[in-house]
Amino acid sequence: MTDTPNKDIEQDHNRDEISLLIASAGPRDSVTPESMDKAHRRVAAHWESVVSDRRNAARRRLQGFYLKAAGVAMIALLPLLYFQVKDFSPEISPANIDRIVGEVRIGGVIASVGQQVQVDTIVETGVDGRIALAMANGQSLRLDHGSRIIVHAPGRVSLQAGAVYINTGGEDLPPILVSTPMGTAQDVGTQFQLRLANSVLLVAVRDGIVKIDQVDGESLAINRGRYIELGATGETLSQPLPDDDNSFDWVETVAPVFDLEGATLEEYLLWYARESGYRLQWTEPESEKKAQRLRLNASIAGRTLAEGLQIVSQIAPGFEHRIEDGIVWATVQ
């Protein structure tokens, strides 16, 4: 009870001291309009600086996020972009000219050996013209007299007139598609020719298998040694190639020249058998080994296949051969 009066006395004493201090300080100076305006400007400038710094920091954080997101997206898209560029980049040269006989035009211009054939280019032979093309995928393509094709890509051409011969060199090469008004032909490691004549597609298969996808959706498979006629309305006539068939004789006249100088006997015989539509067989394994070591030094340029084989028989020591039932039997003593 006695503490309360004492506290009140102490508080009154403190208030008296504060009053005396305020009185001694005198009246406070009034703020002029100029000073108030200057203070407002300083506060505004400081606030704008703070806001600007915050905005810039937020913008940098957002930009960093976008850059990281874009980087992740680009990494994810790189494989897709690579394959798109790879898949859709146009072929500069689907084919090169290996050999020309007579007049041949590429894109309407007289052609020459070694010339490149561009995408979607028309190749046309005259009444005395023939041509051999080396396709970029490795196949050999040849045109007979009065023929016309469009080379779309290394593995795709369109036959518009005349005859085309395809030699894929075996099953290791990718297939080649030949479009015709009656359907599309696709090879399976083969030698074959297509000929358009009077609204009929003639297909002769020398080796392998040829598949024909007709325009009506039906498919045909033509085996080695077979010949068919496919009409515009889908009717077909199939029969074996006759023993005295000469429908491939023209192919030899425009075959690419084999460089015999320095080649082995085995390399030549493999080429000869392929060009002739034969198969090469060795009478015993030792003959094959000898042929792999035996090198030839001569030229068969300008010679027929038969003439070239005769020259090789004369210059290759111990080489003998016979041809029976489409097989070249070879022996090296």
Which pLDDT score, from 0 to 100, does residue 86 have? 35
Which pLDDT score, from 0 to 100, does residue 39 have? 45
Which pLDDT score, from 0 to 100, does residue 276 have? 87
Tokens of 199: 């609204």
Which pLDDT score, from 0 to 100, does residue 175 have? 86
Which pLDDT score, from 0 to 100, does residue 2 have? 47
Which residues, 6 or more positions from 188, have their beta carbon under 8 angstroms from its beta carbon?
A: 171, 175, 208, 209, 210, 211
Between CA 223 and CA 148 the distance in angstroms is: 26
Quickly list DSSP for 7-45.
HHHHHHHHHHHHHHHHHHH-PPPPPPHHHHHHHHHHHHH
Residue of 216, 214, 164, 217 lying closest to 191 (CA atoms): 164
Tokens of 263: 């080649």
Which pLDDT score, from 0 to 100, does residue 68 have? 43
Reduce the DSSP state of residue 157 to 3 states and report it.
strand
100: enclosing H helix or E strand: strand 95-101
Other beta carbons less than 10 A from residue 165's beta carbon? 25
Q: What is the pLDDT of residues 167-209, one digit of tens each?
A: 986 657 788 999 999 999 998 888 999 999 988 999 999 988 9
Reduce the DSSP state of residue 172 to 3 states and report it.
coil
- How high is the mean pLDDT in each 10-residue block of the chain (333 residues)? 49 52 49 48 47 49 44 37 37 86 96 95 97 93 98 95 88 85 90 93 93 89 93 84 89 92 96 90 96 95 92 96 93 96
Q: Which residue is it, tokens 């099953």?
A: 171
